Structure 1
């Protein structure tokens, strides 16, 4: 009798077992409670900021209305809104605001480009850094307002504001960015050099990406410093801009115009800072 041999038949693949990973589990009650506390805390912070702003405006209004302070010298919040609308309707506010904003952005961009390039050069050559370091320290410590008449003679009334913006911001940029370059882990630089990277490749692939937080910090400082430089330049030589509007309003004793321009200047600086903070959040997701 011949024995029958059966060839094995492949069994159908069984569906994979369900994996119960910790990431698939719902958050714990403690974690949800912590999230709720953090959300309430953020809400309270926003409410506290709004309350502080409203209280400051109410105190300003009261002190002026009660003649505790001279309203001719300080104005008061309820008088600023009609002035704001009047300047908005005749187009002066938009023109002066745009003039200041454009000059600030140009000075800000030039300061970052020049400052980063000089800092890279100083990182590249230790000899150049040792030679230029005392001059950079002295230039950064000098009161930049002393340069206003020089820039006015060199650049004229239209471009002297750009010179002031760069003069105030560029030296801080050089020193901050250079310190960031120097703080890069030397082991990373040695590793790149061991793999055959040139000094330019080390700068481009190791130093610059590793200095992104420092560059963001320099952006935050520079946007305010460039604005300060533009306003100082407009105080002295410009015929347009929020700085010019402030000086012109004070000369004709129209404090409503002065205070309105100052409020617009505060809003403008806040918006520019928020733009840099948004950029920082986007960059943190990539390099964080």
Structure 2
């Protein structure tokens, strides 16, 4: 009886010790999360302070003629111009056109590039055949192809999207295909040993292992898509933020030019944050 009581007491002590360790670990984790949230808030506040300070200095410099207000304008003048265009309904049209073209070019560029990269991984023979052509296409100045797209597809939305795809697709192919090839071959061998097909290998090993690279490519394509669309609008469009920039230069309305550039920066930032949110969902879930 004494021995059984001793064993029971030792078991109770062990359980209590385990619970105490779990509580300590939870407290440490809570402190870590609190510190991370505090750091994040401090970063946001510092970023906001830097932005507000920059805008304030810009405003003061413009109003006091420390800088050429005709060329560089200042925030209140830009805000007044954008508000007037918002009120008359033209700003929303231009922003909507450019945003739609950018999203379409962004999604198509990523999807087409990933599909071609999949084909290259699936067929090593095709990869060897197309490798020099992809290298040549990557080295071409994509913007110079804009006039060719205009002649072939007409001065419209198709030529703008084609200009965007010429920039995003090749980068996506090279990056994603490189990621496919770098996946550890041992994982593939395990699937093969258990009778998995090539399709199973791709679905269970290659594609999941490449999620971080694909998401990183999405981030890069955000900027490249905006470049492609704005360049295309420079050449052919009668609507959109690129058109407003060109029009502003033509009539020496640099306030309109800078305002359009700022709108592009805001929209690109929103798109980037959306991709970052997607990254947190995909990569975070994969890690968990």
Task: Give the TM-score normalised by the residue count of structure 1.
Answer: 0.88
2:37 maps to 1:39: yes
Question: What CA distance in whole angstroms lies between the structure 1 residues aligned with 2:114 and 2:69?
Answer: 46
Task: Show the counterpart of 1:157.
Answer: 155
Question: What CA distance in whole angstroms lies between the structure 1 residues aligned with 2:25 and 2:98?
Answer: 50
Match of 1:128 among 126, 129, 150: 126
Please report the RMSD computed on the Cα atoms of aligned residues, expressed in angstroms: 2.1
Task: Show the counterpart of 2:207.
Answer: 208
Question: What CA distance in whole angstroms lies between the structure 1 residues aligned with 2:206 and 2:194?
Answer: 16
CA offset digits 1:116-163 (Å, max 9, x no partner):
111111112222222222221221122111111001111112211100
Higher helix share: 2
Query: Residues 54 and 161 of structure 1: is their aligned pair in 2 closer, same or farther, counting only changes over 3 Å?
Result: same
Pairing of 1:10-49 with structure 2 (within 5 A): 19-20=15-16, 21-22=18-19, 24-25=22-23, 27=25, 33-49=31-47
Query: Residues 27 and 189 of structure 1: is their aligned pair in 2 closer, same or farther, counting only changes over 3 Å?
Result: closer
Question: What CA distance in whole angstroms lies between the structure 2 residues aligned with 1:237 and 1:179?
Answer: 35
Question: What CA distance in whole angstroms lies between the structure 2 residues aligned with 1:36 and 1:109?
Answer: 37
Match of 1:84 among 68, 82, 95: 82
Question: Which SS does the other structure have where 1:240 is aligned?
Answer: coil
Task: Show the counterpart of 2:272.
Answer: 273
Structure number, greater radius of gyration: 1
Aligned length: 273
Question: What CA distance in whole angstroms lies between the structure 2 residues aligned with 1:155 and 1:80?
Answer: 36
Question: What CA distance in whole angstroms lies between the structure 2 residues aligned with 1:180 and 1:30?
Answer: 37
CA offset digits 1:86-134 (Å, max 9, x no partner):
1111111111111011111111111112111111111122222222222
Structure 2: 5+ residue stretches without partners: 1-11
Pairing of 1:92-241 with structure 2 (within 5 A): 92-158=90-156, 159-241=158-240
Q: Which is further off, 272-281 or 122-131?
A: 122-131
Structure 1: 5+ residue stretches without partners: 1-16
Question: Which SS does the other structure have where 2:154 is aligned?
Answer: helix
Q: Give the drift of 1:28.
A: 7.0
Question: Which SS does the other structure have where 1:160 is aligned?
Answer: helix
Q: Give the drift of 1:58.
A: 2.1
Question: What CA distance in whole angstroms lies between the structure 2 residues aligned with 1:205 and 1:30?
Answer: 36
